Amino acid sequence: MTMQENLEGKGDFDLDFDAPGFLDDPYPLYHALRDHDPVFLSPWGDWYLTRFADVAGVLTDKRFQRQSPSGTNPITGDDREPTPIDRMLSRWMVFIDPPAHTRLRRLVGRAFTPRLVEGMRDDVRVIADRLLDDALAGDDFDLIDDFAYPFPVMVVSRILGVPAEDYDILKDWSGQLTGALDTGDAEQLATGIDATRDFMAYMAGLIAERRARPCDDLISAMMLGSDQDDALTEEELLANCVFLLWAGHETTKNLIGNGLLALTRNPDEMARLMVQPDLMVSAVDELLRFESPIQKIGRWTSEAVELSGKTIPQGQYVVSLFGAANRDPFQYPDPDRLDLARQDGTSLAFGKGNHHCLGYGLAKLEGEIAFSTLFERVSAIEVKAKQPQWQANTSVRGLATLPVSVRQR
């Protein structure tokens, strides 16, 4: 297939992530794009994938590399002078290819084994109960501010060894970083750059404290064997501490917020879960599929690759739309229906292959405990906002706020 044949149809589909209503409901656009061209070359030169099979294949194909060429934004693929955000992201394990990725994942992953995660269950439950004690002091609260955000922050901060009194400032920096990750807005980018500098400076101070006085936390554990050849460098340690704190709460926050909104919009399923708590494991999987916290992620082709009958040349930026793949009717019958007992296989919400999310087990545990603890204490939940406010980010799907009214048991 020639490049000219690949270019046929380029530009005759309006792939507009800024279109009114897209953040509220991106799935009609995803379905239309899949029907139009599932391996779509955009007018700006990026390729977009919407089929489950194609996305799953890319995530396990070594010809698609995570590490961006020099000078490009790891999130969007934009060619620009590297910012402090780009330089930090370039050291995050999620943006690095093997063998460096393999080494980083091994050194960090010791805190996220299934045995260790399961051993945290009681502590995670205590954190959830304490937050709900405060949130349910009345019948109205903001699910994001009062529960979905602080819950995973407190869990991952405890793992890392972050002092509780610093949670609020970390929340602000994390939100500003999220806002800057896929935006072209100069003001948001500038705010995110400032937050990144503050975040890195804070973590550098915390690392220095742990180097002087090691504790029983992940930061201290990651510094073990610092004189060995495969040890984390200071830059890797610093960047990945920020990554673990940011990723360790952002995905779970959005799982809880997106999930509860989906349940309130599907009251029969919410009622089903309340009376069948044994559905909780499959319910969390389905909520992750239905409203994936991570909506898209990019790779670069290291050589020409044929995909679904099209040839993608070397050096191209290929965007896997997780939100589209997880609503692919060829993989999930009736994909726009929420079915908490769905048994159609694991979604791509946590990725696949070498870069499968390191903390997926912890995030799922937190999701199960968050919903089960909440439903043990309330018998009805109503969203008070007619139109919920979504974060202005097309890569990370999450609610900015979710005011709710509840009826307590």
206 located within any domain: yes
- The answer as to whether 232 is a domain residue is yes
pLDDT the model gives residue 226? 53
Neighbours of 328 (CB within 10 A): 22
Predicted pLDDT at 174? 84
Residue where the block lists tokens 């048994």: 343
What's the whole-model pTM score?
0.90
> What sign for the dihedral angle of Cα 266, 268, 271, 276?
negative
Instruction: Confirm whether 356 is domain-assigned.
Output: yes
Pairing state between β 378-383 and 403-408: antiparallel
Residue 55 falls inside a structural domain: no
In tens digits, what is the pLDDT along the chain, a chain of 409 residues? 333 333 344 457 999 998 999 999 999 999 999 999 999 999 999 999 999 999 999 999 999 998 877 666 666 667 777 788 888 888 888 888 888 888 888 877 776 778 878 888 999 999 999 999 999 998 899 999 999 999 998 998 888 888 888 888 888 888 888 888 776 678 888 888 999 999 999 999 999 999 899 888 888 888 875 556 667 788 888 888 888 888 888 899 999 999 999 999 999 999 999 999 999 999 999 999 999 999 999 999 999 999 989 999 999 999 999 999 999 999 999 999 999 999 887 899 999 988 888 888 999 999 999 999 999 999 999 999 889 999 988 989 999 999 999 999 8
- Our count of domains for the chain comes to 1
Domain span holding position 140 = 70-293+344-408
CATH classification at residue 214? 1.10.630.10
Helices (H), 8-70: 27-36, 52-60
CA–CA separation, 377 vs 375, rounded Å?
5
**pLDDT of res. 7:** 36
The verdict on residue 97 lying in a domain is yes
In a domain, 329, yes or no: no
Q: Of 66, 157, 136, 14, nearest to 354 (Cα)?
A: 66
Terminal-residue alpha carbon distance, the chain: 63
- The residue behind tokens 């799953």 is 56
pLDDT at 217: 84
For residue 257, being part of any structural domain is answered with yes
Q: How far is CA 279 from the centre of its chain?
A: 23
Residue 162 has what DSSP assignment? -
C-alpha torsion 206→208→211→215, nearest 10: -20
Q: Is residue 12 part of a domain?
A: no
**pLDDT at residue 277, rounded to an integer:** 92
